[in-house]
Amino acid sequence: MRRSTCFMLTALLGSSTLFAVAQNNLTLTHWWHVYGADGQKDAVYRYDAEYAKANNLKIEVSWIPGDYTSKLRAALAAGTAPDIFEYPAGTLEDFADGQLANLDDLFTPALKRDFSPTALQQMTRNGRIQAVKMHSDVAVVFYRKSLLKAAGLQPPKTFAELLAASKKLTQGNRKGLFVGNNGVGPLDQIMPWSAGVTFMQGNKITYNTPRTVKALQSLRELKNSGSLLVGAPADWYEINPFLQGQVAMQLCGAWAIGRAREALGDDFGIVPWPALDAQGKPATWDGGFVMMVNAKSKNLAAAKAYIKKVWLDSTAVPVDWNTKYEFHVPPRKSVATAANFDPSGPEAAAANVLNRYARQNPAAFAGSVADAYYNMVGKAVNGTGDIAALVKAAAAQSQQELARP
C-alpha cells in the first residue's frame, strides 16, 4: 500500500518522468489522421523515418482515429499539439492567430506559381502562407458504363437527366444513385453551387435566394424519388455500395478510382455533379489536406526544414503520396507532370473536373456561421417543411453568428 500511495503522489504532482521516453537529441512529433487505403500508413511512417534517418533526428508519428480535427484543436488549446500536423484544406479559419507558423520563407515566387490558385488560397491566412497543400480531393459521380448502356442512357449532363437516370436504373435491390446515407452527403454545398449560389460575399450572408431553395427542393425530390440508396452501412466517401452493385451511380471522392478500377476494370466512368438547370454549372469542391507547423513548437526550425525537404523541394514524396495508394489530384503542376497520368483515363478526367468546376466558400463561412446552414439542410431535404422559410431562418442565424466578435 505504501508503494501505491507513493505512485499516486508522484503521479498527482505531475511528474511524468516515471513514464517518460528517453530522448536523444531532437524529436519531432507529427500527427496524421487515419487514412484507409492499403499501404498508406506504411508510406507515412516511411517518409518520416527516411527523413529522420538522413537528418539524424527522431520523428514520432501519431496515426489518429476518430474525431481528428477536434482532438487537434483541443491539443493546440492545451499546448500539447505536435510540431507538425495535417488538417483538412480550406479551414484555416479554425485556427487562432499565433497558432500556425508562417511558412513564407520556404516559398520562392516560382514555387508559389507551381501551386494551383485555389490551393494557394487554401494555404494562406491573413496574407501569410501557413500551410502546404499535400493533395486535392474532388467529388465526382461514378457510373457503371455497362448499366447505362443497357438502359440506353448517356452520362447525365443536367440534374434532370441525373434524376431520370437514377429512376430508370433502379431495379430490384439495386438503386440508381448513392450520395450519402442521409440523402445529402457532400451535396449540402455542391447542390447550391450547381445552381450558381454564392454562400457569402464580404461580410454578407448571401445564400437566402430562390436558387438555394430550388437546389434543396430538387434534393428533396431526388430523395423522395425512391431511386436513392439510403441507410447503407458505408457512407458516401466509401465506394463499396457502387462496387458491390447496390447502386448504378455514386457520388464519391476521386480517391476511389483505384479501387473502382481494381474491381470493375474499365466498366466505370466519372462525370462532375451536373448543373441544376440552364442557369447553373457543374460543381464540386477542392478538398484534400494541408500540412502545418505548430507556431509554438520548440523545434520550429527543424519542423520547417522537414516540410521544405520532404514536401516542397523534391517531387518524390508528393508523387508517391498522390498516386501510389489512393488517387489524389496533385495541387502542384510539377507533381502532376511528374505523375504522368494517362490523358484519356479517369485520373485525368478527375483533374479536369477539379480545374474547371471546383468552388470554394470564403474562409469565414465556417464554425457556427456555417453550422446554422448545415443544421438546416438535413431538415430541408428529409423533412416536409417549407424550404424557403428554413433557408431564410438559417441565413438570418448565419448572419447573426457572423456579426459576433
Partner 1 sequence: MRAWPVKRKPIPPGRVALYAALILLAFLFLFPFFLTVRNGLMADRDIIGDQFILFPLPPHWEYLPQTLFDSRDVNILLGLRNSAVVAALQTFFGVLFASMAGYALARVPFRGKSLVLGFILATMLVPGIVLFIPKFVLVAKLGWVNTLQGIVVPEMFSAFNAFMFRQYYLDFPRDMEEAGRVDGLSWTGVYRQLALPNSKGILTALGVLTFISSWNSFLWPLTVGQNEKLWTVQVAVSAYNNTNASYHEIFMSSVIAVVPLVVVFLLFQRWIIEGVKFTGSKG
Partner 2 sequence: MRSLNLPTSRSQRAPRPDRSATWAFWGLVGPLVMGLIVFTIVPLVWGFALSFQNARGTIEFDVSRWVGLDNFRRTLADPAFRESLITGALYAALVVPLTLVFGLALALLVNSVRRGQAFFRTALFMPTAVSFVVGALIWKIGLFNGLSFGIANTVLGLFGWDPIVWTLTSPWVWVVLVSLRLWLTLGFNMLIFLAGLKEVPAQLYEAARIDGASSWQSFWGITFPLLRNTSIFLLFVNVIGALQAFDEFYNVLGSGVSSLSSSLAGRPPIWYIYDTGFATADYGRGSASAFLLAGIILLATLLQVRLFGLGQRQND
d(CA 304, CA 248): 46
Stretch of 81-89, 124-132, 201-209, 380-388 lying at the interface with partner 2 (CB under 8 A): 380-388
Positions in 29-58 near partner 1 (CB under 8 A)? 31, 33-37, 40-42
What is residue 273's three-state secondary structure? strand
Which listed option, partner 2, partner 1, none, makes contact with residue 54 (CB within 5 to 8 Å by class)? none
Beta bridge partners, 140, equal 252
Nearer to partner 2, 293 or 335 (CB): 293
Number of residues in contact with partner 1, rule: CB under 8 A? 38
Stretch of 100-108, 227-235, 274-282, 312-320 lying at the interface with partner 2 (CB under 8 A): 227-235
Report if residue 399 touches partner 1, rule: CB under 8 A.
no
Whole-angstrom CA distances from 383 to 295, 390, 400 are 45, 11, 25
Nearer to partner 1, 71 or 167 (CB): 71
Report if residue 349 touches partner 2, rule: CB under 8 A.
no
Query: Quick check: 293 and 304 in contact, CB under 8 A?
Result: yes
Stretch of 76-84, 292-300, 338-346, 377-385 lying at the interface with partner 1 (CB under 8 A): 76-84
Stretch of 48-56, 60-68, 113-121, 368-376 lying at the interface with partner 1 (CB under 8 A): 60-68
d(CA 394, CA 219): 18
Report if residue 14 touches partner 1, rule: CB under 8 A.
yes
**Residue among 89, 110, 107 nearest 291 (CA):** 89
Stretch of 5-13, 121-129, 287-295, 305-313 lying at the interface with partner 2 (CB under 8 A): 5-13
Longest dimension (CA), the chain: 81
**Residue among 54, 48, 57, 7 nearest 27 (CA):** 57
Query: Quick check: 75 and 82 in contact, CB under 8 A?
Result: yes
Nearer to partner 2, 322 or 361 (CB): 361
Which listed option, partner 2, partner 1, none, makes contact with residue 238 (CB within 5 to 8 Å by class)? partner 1
Stretch of 73-81, 129-137, 217-225, 271-279 lying at the interface with partner 1 (CB under 8 A): 73-81
DSSP letter (8 states) at residue 184 = -
Q: Is 354 exposed, middle or buried (0-12, 13-18, 19+ CB in 10 A)?
A: buried
Backbone angles phi, psi at 347, to 5 degrees: -60, -50
The H-or-E segment that residue 200 falls in is strand 200-201
User: Cα 64–70–75 angle (5° rounding)?
Assistant: 80
- Smallest gap, in angstroms, from Cβ of residue 236 to partner 2? 10
Q: Mask: binding to partner 2, 86-125, rule CB under 8 A, as x and -?
A: --------xxx--x--------------------------
Among 75, 106, 300, 305, binds partner 1 (CB under 8 A): 75
Report if residue 308 touches partner 2, rule: CB under 8 A.
no
d(CA 233, CA 260): 18
Report if residue 65 touches partner 1, rule: CB under 8 A.
yes
Positions in 240-279 near partner 1 (CB under 8 A)? 240, 244, 246, 259
Backbone angles phi, psi at 310, to 5 degrees: -85, -40
First to last CA, the chain: 54
- DSSP output for 127-183: TEE--EEEEB--EEEEE-HHHHHHTT-PPP-BHHHHHHHHHHT-BTTBEEEES-TTS
Nearer to partner 1, 251 or 252 (CB): 252
Report if residue 375 touches partner 2, rule: CB under 8 A.
yes
Nearer to partner 1, 48 or 238 (CB): 238
Q: In the complex, which residues of this chain contact partner 2 (CB under 8 A)?
A: 4-5, 8, 12, 67, 69-70, 73-74, 76-78, 94-96, 99, 173, 181-184, 188, 229-233, 235, 246, 367-368, 371, 374-379, 381-383, 397, 405
Q: In the complex, which residues of this chain contact partner 1 (CB under 8 A)?
A: 1, 4, 8, 11-12, 14, 16, 18-19, 31, 33-37, 40-42, 60, 62-66, 71, 74-75, 77-80, 173, 233, 238, 240, 244, 246, 259
